[in-house]
Chain A
Amino acid sequence: MAIRTYREAVKEALAQEMALDDRVVLIGEDVCGGQAGTAEVGSKGEAFGGVLGVTKGLWTEFGSARVIDTPITESAIIGMAAGAAMTGLRPVAELMFMDFFGVCHDMLYNQAAKFRYMFGGKAKAPMVVRGMIGAGFSAAAQHSQSPYHIFATTPGLKVVVPSTPYDVKGLLIQAIRDDDPVVFCEHKALYDIKGEVPEEPYTIPFGVANYTREGTDVTIIALAAMVHKANQVADKLAAEGISVEVVDPRTVSPLDEDGILESVTSTGRVVIVDESAARLGFAHDLAALIATKAFYQLKAPIIMVTPPHTPVPFSPVLEQAWIPSADRIEAAVRKVMEA
């Protein structure tokens, strides 16, 4: 096992799959950067390698035919990836900030997601759309959202929201090898976290939740950055004798219903932490699942810890109040423990 950051895990998955399979190409804005600059491209190193440096080094390794810098043109990026996917490539398109799906969603929502079903099982779209989600950087309302719940409402899309470097690498390789379009959500607040990652390529199957803490009193369900806050709360409350189980579904679609319900039925108390939305979000979907399939095992009402129903604010004070906090998660756990 090597120690890798979440960022390095993304790049390692891409590099290893590109080395294994010539059909894998990267498409995006400034995935290398520096084309037609006043310095020769690459002469001072890759200009960006992705805006947060995630893909840095891949252009040097694989060249312009495999690491394709595009104009700022999201519809053409996702559309080109979809057309390439249905004709034999395995493109990984980078949307940069997942918020930008708003300018190009047709090519996923009406096109790639539907090919396999709409064409009677005779077409497929093996593509990955990578993008950053998450608040915490004062990146404000158009660069901080976590719209994985919107992707997951669309049949045909698979949606991955990893929380650790280990999960990033295994799930991204699975995403590239998967024959369906996969939306791969990278939480920008996690890029620098470190963890053990096998050096060789490996896959993690979709739809298998990970229990990051085992416990008997309360189940917290969380994704991405929220998993780490949930773990922190679980560790704190363990000292008081409150035993918290933390379930990280890792993929929103497919969803490990059995894994989630198993934990919920064993503890009978549920807190769902979700950065996506205050209404009609992932938390609400899970709450409905639990209420319809595990109602009689519940000892307390389900509590959802979500942002308020507002855009993500800019000022750090406001933004911190917006993001579901460890304090709010802890309060929710204490509340369900009262029942």
Chain B
Amino acid sequence: MSLSKSELLKAYRKMREIRVFEERLHQENTTGDIPGFIHLYCGEEAIAVGVCEHLKDTDYIGSTHRGHGHCIAKGCDIHGMMAEIFGKDSGLCRGKGGSMHIADLSKGMLGANAIVGGAPPLAIGAALTAKTLGNGGVAVSFTGDGGSNQGLVFEAMNMAVVLQLPVIFMFENNGFGEATGHDYAVGGRNITQRAAGFGMPAVKVDGTDFFAVYEAVAVAVERARNGGGPTAIEAVAHRWYGHFEGDPMLYRADGEVERLRQESDPLKIFSEHVSGQISAEELLAIDAEVEALVDDAVAKARAADFPAVESLLTDVYVSY
């Protein structure tokens, strides 16, 4: 499958945006100015971008608590996201959602989701909408290896097969559900095989390789758009940071993350893959633009106003 140079540059830019956004949040969080919890996506960028490069604004994704990467890949505004994470009124959810609930329906982003395994049932609903309206839309749910064990994920997969819904179940196997390893928590140690047991095509790909993800998703999206029903894809990658910021990662071997940064960096792997078509200078130029974009997003988010207290009671029916 050949991507044009402009498509490759766009994919690289998205992955770099995710990387810089998350690395910056890792720093900003130490200042104590970010309320609540954040969960970083570094190391998994190729999955979100490999999926979303196939999707339009009218296609939908449902996400996880580790959702910043999915949001960026699906086109959510970086400034709006950063402001939301800082709890500001200019945030995508007016400061009412925060890191774990960033959503933008106009971009087909159904929300990061702080309930583990929460996205698949919602994604089959978005897929039902697409099927009912006959608009050729596709929905994708993101779920981690930890979430893959949730009962409602199984229910969603079965329903998708029964109703032949245009949905893709993306399982991001980053090796850990919170502080518990995949090999302990996933009984059969094979998410792909388990998904296949529901009666849909299921494949396992290297989630650090954008091209591997992109090609698998291409097949799944085509199947979904043509009425061929659901697909499951397990993408194996690595989580460079803790479950949440502040997690000391006592469950990881010494030197593991440093090694992953050297050997399994999705951006390095991408850069090497495209080195014949795209020069290092071109990529560095993108890096600089992205750094400036994220700098500006942080500066504007910090300077922005918190929501007016009156907004506490808006956007919901309030009885007493």
Task: Tell me if A75 is interfacial: C-beta within 8 Å of chain B.
Answer: yes
Q: How many of chain A's residues have a CB under 8 angstroms from any CB in B?
A: 49
Whether the Cβ atoms of B97 and A87 lie closer than 8 Å is no
Whether the Cβ atoms of A115 and B121 lie closer than 8 Å is no
Which residue from chain B places its CB closest to the CB of A109 in the assembled complex? B115
Which residue from chain B places its CB closest to the CB of A293 in the assembled complex? B320
User: Which of A25, A82, A121, A255 is the one whose CB lies under 8 Å from B122?
Assistant: A82
Whether the Cβ atoms of A83 and B110 lie closer than 8 Å is yes
Whether the Cβ atoms of A87 and B115 lie closer than 8 Å is no
Give bound CA distance, A158 to B163, whole Å: 29
Q: How many of chain B's residues have a CB under 8 angstroms from any CB in A?
A: 49
Whether the Cβ atoms of A120 and B93 lie closer than 8 Å is yes
Residues of B contacting A116 in the complex (Cβ-Cβ under 8 angstroms): 315-316
Whether the Cβ atoms of B156 and A79 lie closer than 8 Å is yes
Q: Which of A68, A76, A117, A122 has the most CB of B within 10 A?
A: A76
Which residue from chain B places its CB closest to the CB of A66 in the assembled complex? B132
Whether the Cβ atoms of B94 and A87 lie closer than 8 Å is no
Q: Which of A27, A70, A91, A115 has the most CB of B within 10 A?
A: A115
Give bound CA distance, A256 to B159, whole Å: 39
Q: Which residues of A59-111 are within 8 A (CB) of B?
A: 65-66, 68, 70-71, 73-89, 91, 104, 106-107, 110-111
Whether the Cβ atoms of B151 and A119 lie closer than 8 Å is no
Give bound CA distance, A75 to B125, whole Å: 12
Residues of B contacting A257 in the complex (Cβ-Cβ under 8 angstroms): 319-320
Give bound CA distance, A123 to B102, whole Å: 12
Residues of B contacting A289 in the complex (Cβ-Cβ under 8 angstroms): 320
Type the 1/0 row for B92-127, where 1 means its CB is closer than 8 Å to any CB of A. 111111000101111000110111001011111111
Which residue from chain B places its CB closest to the CB of A289 in the assembled complex? B320
Task: Tell me if A308 is interfacial: C-beta within 8 Å of chain B.
Answer: no
Whether the Cβ atoms of A155 and B96 lie closer than 8 Å is no
Residues of A contacting B152 in the complex (Cβ-Cβ under 8 angstroms): 75-76, 79, 104, 106-107
Task: Tell me if A20 is interfacial: C-beta within 8 Å of chain B.
Answer: no
Task: Tell me if A253 is interfacial: C-beta within 8 Å of chain B.
Answer: yes
Give bound CA distance, A253 to B159, whole Å: 31
Task: Tell me if B264 is interfacial: C-beta within 8 Å of chain A.
Answer: no
Whether the Cβ atoms of B319 and A253 lie closer than 8 Å is yes
Task: Tell me if B155 is interfacial: C-beta within 8 Å of chain A.
Answer: yes
Task: Tell me if A118 is interfacial: C-beta within 8 Å of chain B.
Answer: yes
Whether the Cβ atoms of B319 and A255 lie closer than 8 Å is yes
Residues of B contacting A66 in the complex (Cβ-Cβ under 8 angstroms): 132
Residues of A contacting B94 in the complex (Cβ-Cβ under 8 angstroms): 120-121
Task: Tell me if B219 is interfacial: C-beta within 8 Å of chain A.
Answer: no
Which residue from chain B places its CB closest to the CB of A72 in the assembled complex? B155
Q: Which residues of B109-158 are within 8 A (CB) of A?
A: 110-111, 113-115, 118, 120-130, 132-133, 139, 151-152, 155-156, 158
Task: Tell me if A254 is interfacial: C-beta within 8 Å of chain B.
Answer: yes
Give bound CA distance, A207 to B92, whole Å: 31
Give bound CA distance, A233 to B113, whole Å: 50
Least CB distance, A87 to chain B, in whole angstroms: 4
Given contacts A80-B128, A86-B125, A86-B126, contact A119 B155 (CB under 8 A): no
Task: Tell me if A281 is interfacial: C-beta within 8 Å of chain B.
Answer: no
Residues of B contacting A82 in the complex (Cβ-Cβ under 8 angstroms): 121-122, 125
Give bound CA distance, A68 to B114, whole Å: 29
Task: Tell me if B91 is interfacial: C-beta within 8 Å of chain A.
Answer: yes
Whether the Cβ atoms of A73 and B319 lie closer than 8 Å is no
Give bound CA distance, A111 to B117, whole Å: 12
Whether the Cβ atoms of A87 and B159 lie closer than 8 Å is no
User: Can you list 9 A-B contacts with CB-CB less than 8 angstroms, sorted by A residue number?
Assistant: A27-B128, A79-B120, A87-B130, A107-B122, A118-B97, A121-B315, A123-B111, A155-B316, A156-B316
Sorted nearest first, the 8 A-B pairs with minimum C-beta distance are A83-B125, A79-B121, A120-B94, A83-B122, A120-B93, A76-B155, A121-B315, A84-B125
Question: Interface residues, chain A, CB within 8 Å of chain B?
Answer: 23, 25, 27, 65-66, 68, 70-71, 73-89, 91, 104, 106-107, 110-111, 115-123, 155-156, 158, 180, 253-255, 257, 289
